Amino acid sequence: MDYFKDYRDYVGSKPEKFFKSTLFESDKILLGLNCLEPGQEQAVHAHGDQDKFYFVLEGVGEFTVGDTVQSASDGMTVWAPEDVDHGVRNVGDVRLVLLVGLAPAPGH
């Protein structure tokens, strides 16, 4: 398999909903991208049995985690432990690109 991937090859967009892609996946972890055009959002939700992180690669998002609402731009890591509500909205004027990890991977 190819152990090396450039995240820029996995960026994309969808008009109707934010865009997801997968970089690597095993039973232990899913690593991928969430890409949100300006104004798009990932509705607040929670995972019952997964911890999740976002790492902001490009753009600026307004994140909700639990009772906290905070803007974060490139270089920020956002942690959403299992059972904690979380979501994000692109509040900038360029695409928001997030590296996202879910452990364990969904369905495992």
Tokens of 84: 């904690």
Which of 12, 17, 22, 26 touches a copy of itself by CB under 8 A? Answer: 26
Which of 35, 36, 72, 96 touches a copy of itself by CB under 8 A? Answer: 72
Residue 105 DSSP class? P
Taking the complex as a whole, the smallest distance from the CB of residue 35 to a copy of itself amounts, in Å, to 14
In the complex with a copy of itself, the residue whose CB is nearer, 29 or 44, is 29
**Amino acid at position 49, single letter:** D
Residue given tokens 């270089």 in the structure block: 75
Which of 5, 12, 14, 39 touches a copy of itself by CB under 8 A? Answer: 5
Regarding 6 and contact with a copy of itself (CB under 8 A), the answer is: yes
Give every strand in the sheet of 96-103, ordered side by side: 19-25, 30-36, 96-103, 51-58
Burial of 2 (0-12, 13-18, 19+ CB in 10 A): exposed
Q: By CB under 8 A, name the binding residues for a copy of itself.
A: 1, 3-8, 23-24, 26, 28-29, 31, 50-51, 53, 55, 57, 63, 65-66, 68, 70, 72, 75-82, 84, 99, 101, 103-104
